[in-house]
Structure 1
Amino acid sequence: MRICSVVTACIRERDNQLDLYHWWSTQGHDVLVIGPRRSDPTKGLQEAPPSETMGRLRVERVFEDIPDMWGPPERSFAKAREVFVDFRPDVLWVWHEANFPFSHQLAQQFSPPVPMVLYLEIPTQKIMDLARIFGEVPFTLSAVLLDKLREAEMTRPGTWFLKMEIPVGTAAPPLLPREKRLDRGIFCGSLGYPYKGPDQFEALIPRLFEETPMERLLMVSPGNIRAVEIYEKYRDRYPIDFVESMPRQQLHAEIARSAFGFHTMTIESPASFCVECMALRTPFLAAESGLGGVIEDGVTGLRSVDSLNRALADPDFYAAVQRGAHDYYLRHFSLESVGWRTLTLFQGILDGNPEAVWERLRYRPGQTLPLPAEVLGLESAP
């Protein structure tokens, strides 16, 4: 299979999306990634090479930055057309709705058009209607499944809607038990938008320092004004280490050394940091936030300061949360789990039976996804 991915995130040191595309390539598929040389949250601090090859994965960074991808579709199309046509993909994966217009033009370069799969973080009805204007998309995926946007309601003739968690791969630092971890909380993410919960984050910091055993806070956040304001407000009162940017491998090591991770996002999308904590067996606190479908108190994470205190004081409870979170990660977010489901979906499109694939993979309340070992024939789950 030849898979082309049009994505905004393809800098290995920062982004986890590239791990999924590399995983596809390790399964015997040729993969082309088209994306930007810079990732705009870094404000140009990091720049990747224009072209890169890793086995059967080829990355062509034909755009300067993300805003360059979201200009007039004709201009974006012109920059990507040559590498796309030369690659001759069987299927086109498009991450983020803003990449859809020029990607749709790319797909039309062949007859019949290259089938598309559109991945959205938050699927609104407006976005789905816009997708219909540009043409039928065999599959639209989303990390978020809201009550108002059930899969059956969003599915329509020629277009199937599926919940599909974000893929996250992590480094493998030594697993540390509670007693060998720092009495430190760790946060990674932006605070520049209301749904990130900046006010809730600001209010939570004193509680963590004054009501829990947390001795330090490591705050990794792009230097948007709100994040800097919060840091400057508290830095003289509490021991806070503020870092604007950190390579993923280093971040994973810091997560693995920390007693817990947390954020205060109000939406249901877990974002990569939450999942990285689950993967690295670092209990995640989702106090005053969304994630009701991911973080179950005392099972896959923690929902309150009281639960955090219990976990930090009770090694058995702490270990149980570690196990529950890691199991959930393997079933829902691991490269093997998301990778198997996406490849199954692509093959179903090419075989002409997308409806059968939708029935096989679609979300069902109360469903427990299988472990990767159960569907990939591995000797044991990773």
Structure 2
Amino acid sequence: MGAGLAVVALGVLNDSEPVLTLGVLVCLASLVATVVLSMKRAQHGQLEADEKGIRIDGKLIASPGRRTWGTVLPKRYLHYPRTFILNRSGAVVQILDLGVDEGRELLKAARLDRDHVAAEMLYHAGQAGEREASLGFVGMVLFAANLGAGTILVLKGLSTPEGRLAAYGLAATWLVINPLVWLAYRALNMRLRWGHDGIWMKRLFRTRFVHTTEVEALRQWPRWGGQRSDRHPPQGLDIVLRGGETIRLATQYASSRFGYPTDDIMFKELNELRGLQPAPQAVAALDRNGRSPEQWLDALRDLSGSKSDYRSGVINVEKLVEICENPAATAAQRGASAALLMSEGSDDERNRLLRQAGATVYAPLGAVLLAAAQGDEPGLLRALATLPD
């Protein structure tokens, strides 16, 4: 699309109708290609999966480095189980016709499950559905206007008053109106990431983290009222917190745009993660207690001294790994465990830290885990400073 617009601009500047026609054709071809690609569904071929990603007939279709992730929807959500590969916006990259166990094994081997990477999607906050519907109508009107103006421009050329008016209209649309509509969509969108430790939300410049233990319940609300069914698909999802607050997400437009039950994926995953929550663990010696990052790190290193709990068995490498991988533990406890494992752990423990960093949603803790896994002490001190006491 960008190349087509550039060719159109070149044709307008040079008053060249052949170049202008070519640009419009390129734009139309890109639109058709986008529609065709968005309609792509299941693909067949020889499946292979390893730590580098998933390949079909040798072609890499998904990997953690591509910011993709996967999930398996069992039969109760669809007519038959399917494995979805999605990108960071929640759009489908690939659909694989696999059983539940096969899909989970595939995602685990490719490191695309929640033990290795966090899930990520775009949702619409609050009652944004109605406002987005209005913007969608505006978008359709703009598309029709652009198509009409482009047609007039091709048929009449720039030498006629109609052609020049169409060119000015296209320029105004692309330079002013379209950016404003895009900004309005951005204002409605909320980016969500979720994993074992909780849900991270960002809307414009505001961010929020909700720990998994704070979630009391999840509720789907149907589009037309009544019970959840194929005839009454969900319009959204409520995240009910223990304090009584409800975070409402409108999902019906995302579902129709991406062509699959968007809300079912998050509903299913969050319910599973809540069910896997272990009991919180804590060791008092790991607490920060108001100390600076340098003082905290020095105190943690003192634990490996002769008079510490470390040698007495209260804290050992196994215990540190257990706390570090426990999403119910506090961020400070997990961060302190990671800091100790940086010096006391083996390569295997540090690799596990790296895996936890990719699966952690809470950014300050993820930075601590990553710095500890890489042995980056200056980075570790900076990251420890961001953790709550």
Q: Normalised by the shorter chain, which TM-score bucket?
A: under 0.3
Select the structure of larger CA radius of gyration: 2
TM-score, length-scaled by structure 1: 0.24
Q: Which has the higher helix share?
A: 2
The alignment's TM-score, normalised by the length of structure 2, stands at 0.23
The structure, 1 or 2, with the larger RCO (C-alpha pairs under 8 Å, 6+ apart) is: 1
